[in-house]
Amino acid sequence: MRKETILPESKDTAFRDLIIKSPGGEKIPTCMQCGICAGSCPVSHEMDYTPRQLVRMIQLGLRKEVLNSNTVWICTTCFSCSVRCPRGIHPTELMETLKPIAMSEGIRNKNAKFDNVFSDVIKKNGRASEFLLISKYSLSEPGMIKQAPFGFSLFSKGKLPLSVDKMEDTGELDAIFKLGEKTEEKAETKTNPGKKETGEKENAEPETEK
C-alpha cells in the first residue's frame, strides 16, 4: 500500500465533526487506540484499515481514506468490538453511519458493490438467492471470473440452485427500502451540499488485493 503523508489539507474537520455528532459518535475522541476492537474483530485481517485505525482516521478527519476504505463493507456487524471497547465507542454503529455517506458520494469499491447486488436481489425477490447473487456480482466485478471453476463445482454438487424462491407479498419490504432511500438522500445533502464529485470517486478504489 502506498503511504501518504498526512498534511493539513488532508484533514476535513467538518467531516470529523459530522461523524462525532452522529448517534453513538460522541465518544470517538476518547479512543485510546488500545486495539481490543481490531483484536476482537473476526474479519479485521480482510480490512484495509482495522476498526481501530478507522476510528483514528476519523479523529483526524481523513475523509478520503475513511470513505474509500473497504472496512465498512467488510464489517459483519458482529458487535464484538462494540461490547469490548473500554471507552464505550461503537465501531459497529460507526460503520452504519459511514455506509450511506460513502454511497451518496458514489463510492463503489468491490465490497460496496457486493452490498448493492445483495440489496438489489432482496429488493426484487424478498429472499436471497445464491445463484443470482453470484452471477450478478460476477458481472459487475470482472475479477470474479477466477472463481468460476469453484462456482461450477458448487453448482454440480447442487449447492447453487437455479430456482429463485420469491416472497409473495413484498409490500412491507418495499416500505423498508423506501425509508432507506430517504435516509440516504438526507445523508447526501448533509455531507455534500451542492457539489457532486462522483466521477472522480469511481477510480478511487483502494488496492486491497491480498
Quote the CA–CA distance of 79 and 40 in Å, as a whole number: 9
Residue 78, contacted partner among ligand SF4, another protein, none, CB below 5-8 A by kind: ligand SF4
Residue 77, contacted partner among ligand SF4, another protein, none, CB below 5-8 A by kind: ligand SF4
Nearer to another protein, 84 or 124 (CB): 84
Interaction between residue 44 and another protein (CB under 8 A):
yes
- State the residues that interact with ligand SF4 by CB under 6 A: 31-37, 40-44, 51-52, 55, 75-81, 85-87, 89, 91-92
Residue 67, contacted partner among another protein, ligand SF4, none, CB below 5-8 A by kind: none
Grid cell locating 158: 447442487
Quote the CA–CA distance of 108 and 203 in Å, as a whole number: 9
Query: Residue 199 carries which side chain, given as an amino acid letter?
Result: G
Q: What is the DSSP letter of 50?
A: -
C-alpha count within 13 angstroms, C-beta hemisphere, residue 187: 20
Interaction between residue 101 and another protein (CB under 8 A):
no
CB of 71 to ligand SF4, least distance (A): 7
Q: How far is CA 124 from each of CA 113, 130, 135, 144, 206, rounded to the nearest angstrom?
A: 17, 14, 15, 23, 30
Can you give the binding site for another protein, defined by CB under 8 A?
A: 27, 30, 32-41, 44-45, 49-50, 52-53, 84-88
